[in-house]
Amino acid sequence: MKTKFNFKILLLVSILLIAMCLFNTNMVQATEVTADETKTTTDTTSSSAEKTQTDTTTKSIDNLTQEELNTIIPSEIEISTTKTEVANYFANTEINPDLENPAEKALKEKIVSIFSASGYTIDMSKISVSIMTNDWEESYAEIIGQKLHKNFTIKYTRESGYSEQDAKYVKNKVDTIKFANYEGEDAVFTIYNLGDEKNASKWSRDTFDFTKLLNDSSITIKKSNSFGGQGAGTPWGEVHNLYFFKNGVLYATKTIMNMGAYGTTLENGTPVNMVKLEKDDEIYKAMAKELENKGLKNILGCYELTAYGTTYDNMKVSFNLGNDYNGKEVQILHKKKNNTYEILKTTVVDGKATITVSEFSPFMIALSNTTNTNNTNDPTSDKKLDDEPKTGVADYTIFASVLAIISLGGIVTLKLKK
């Protein structure tokens, strides 16, 4: 009986042990499966992340569309450069042409960072940036080698020494400058006398003294290198930007024409350009005929006058003829705007013939017939005087010759009588 009981207990324990072994085996297998699944999931997630990162940093701009470029580059880009830095750059490019525009450099760096933030890698050499010369606030970027570009505006950093009071002061001063008006553009002129080619040939972009535009030593004026202008003939010149600084800070800019011309200057400072008309010009021919009808043939020149500024009634205009004509009377034919003519007489003083008019149009200058034309500019005058008979001297010579012959005849007769 006792043996039978012990057998039952051993059998029960064996069953329990077998059950426990089976349970542990299933648990281990389940754990291994879960671990494998977790590892697989982790590997998949890691691979996906790596793939995403790879895709993000390897976007190519080769297939970039205009629409994508418009989305990537904003309509306004802010840079740490100041306008004073840009003005100083333009003012120094003539001396140091290798300087790099600080605004363009800053923009390229900023655009590269913008592309990077959008998942693109782009070399700075693939970007071309241009800044408009008017106020430097308009610009555009272009992807070199692709027909893609984006216009945008630039927001500059304000100078640490900027003063609203100084800004207003400089602006008001600049507004008081009385520029000439050349075809609708503000201009300054250096005027040369007619025929003064020696000095006119020395004209350069530095001939005009820009400091005299403002009688204010607290304001510094600098100019840019030229960018376009007027070629041969009169007037001639170049386009510049003027920069107005106070205490080292830029407060105003002005685009002007820096001109040279043959002509004169009115009493109010308005420059007057004088273009010499040649003999084959139709205006010259018509005016020469008009003078010829009045018996005036010794023409000294014909000129078309243009004023580049304010005109008024009774303007004094001087034509430089040279000191050889000092004291001589000239008659100046003026073709008025209504196509009628008027004759103005004047005497040359200090080499200039000065008249008073109220409008500009062609003028032709001729020596009066009563003027002694013996001068170095009229090579025929001396010859004419030499060829003319000396009437009083000739008559006296004939009379003396007759008397001499009569006297000689008388002497011969007396000798024969003796």
Q: Is pLDDT larger for residue 232 or for residue 328?
A: 328
414 has pLDDT over 60? no
- Contact by Cβ (8 Å): 372, 317: no
Confidence of residue 326 (pLDDT cuts 50, 70, 90): very high
Enter the DSSP assignment of 349.
B
**Whole-number Å distance between alpha carbons of 404 and 68:** 119
CA 40 to chain centre: 70
pLDDT in tens, 23-34: 555 554 544 444
Task: Tell me what the mean pLDDT of segment 20-47 comes to.
Answer: 49
CA distance 387 to 373: 15
pLDDT band at 415 (very low <50, low <70, confident <90, very high): very low
* Gap between the Cα atoms of 402 and 169, Å rounded: 95
Give the residue, 142 or 38, on which the prediction is more confident. 142
CB atoms within 10 A of CB 62: 8
Among the residue ranges 242-256, 294-308, 314-328, 401-415, the one predicted with the least confidence is 401-415
Name the token pair of 371.
């003027």
Predicted local distance difference test score (pLDDT) of residue 22? 56
Give me the phi and psi of 326, to 5 degrees please: -55, 130
Asked if 108 and 129 touch (Cβ cutoff 8 Å), the reply is yes
Cα 258 from Cα 206, distance rounded (Å):
9
Neighbour tally for 377: CB within 10 Å:
13
Give the DSSP H/E element, type plus range, for residue 52. helix 2-57
Highest mean pLDDT among 2-6, 87-91, 378-382, 410-414: 87-91
Is pTM, for the whole model, over 0.85? no
Q: Which residue has the higher pLDDT, 343 or 98?
A: 343
Mean pLDDT of the chain: 81
